[in-house]
């Protein structure tokens, strides 16, 4: 596969991943699909408020995806200059996907913010300095502990699924951006396949 076609495939693949990250992060603002938790952000998991999926896995991937896709299309972008710019955008995408990946991993490991007593909102599964390593006591390996969260309903399952999706999406984004960095380097040095058909390099 030539560098131009590779860029086009990567750009097309990154777009739905970025949209998926944005949607997953937005859903995390509405545990139990209720609006009241957005009105008081102290009831939300801190990692949700840092917008890892919206900014990192979303916006910082959308712009590179559009340019990388354009680089692989016919026209003035399918040249060495366009491939060089795609390297820069791919590096930007890697930064965004890493940001999303780190926040999502922390959100998954430390658990959600929830009500554990009549009025006490806290993070009952938060890993302290004394228990840094994941152990068998960790809530991820003990679904029976999920009932410790009284409100929002099923918030643990809600967070686990969405943060796991974000980790999956961001990991794929990171790999694709890394591939595009290498692909863009080859395209910048050697030109695109389109140059063989009379297109500018």
Nearest Cα residue to 152 out of 8, 20, 48: 48
pTM: 0.87
**pLDDT reported for residue 4:** 80
For the chain, the structural domain boundaries read: 3-197
> What mean pLDDT do residues 113-133 have?
78
Q: What is the mean pLDDT of the chain?
A: 86
Report which secondary-structure segment, H or E, holds 115: strand 114-115
């Amino acid at each position: 596969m030539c560098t131009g076609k590779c860029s086009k495939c990567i750009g097309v693949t990154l777009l739905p991943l970025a949209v998926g990250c944005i949607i997953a992060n937005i859903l995390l603002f509405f545990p139990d699909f209720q609006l009241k938790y957005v009105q008081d952000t102290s009831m939300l998991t801190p990692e949700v408020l840092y917008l890892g999926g919206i900014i990192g896995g979303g916006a910082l991937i959308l712009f590179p995806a559009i340019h990388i896709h354009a680089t692989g299309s016919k026209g003035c972008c399918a040249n060495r200059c366009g491939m060089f710019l795609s390297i820069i955008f791919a590096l930007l995408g890697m930064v965004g996907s890493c940001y999303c990946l780190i926040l999502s991993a922390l959100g998954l490991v430390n658990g959600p913010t929830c009500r554990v007593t009549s009025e006490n909102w806290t993070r009952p599964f938060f890993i302290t300095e004394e228990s840094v390593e994941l152990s068998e006591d960790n809530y991820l390996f003990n679904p029976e502990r999920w009932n410790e969260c009284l409100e929002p309903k099923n918030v643990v399952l809600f967070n686990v699924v969405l943060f796991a999706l974000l980790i999956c999406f961001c990991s794929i984004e990171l790999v694709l951006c890394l591939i595009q960095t290498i692909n863009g380097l080859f395209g910048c040095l050697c030109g695109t396949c389109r140059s063989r058909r009379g297109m500018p390099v």
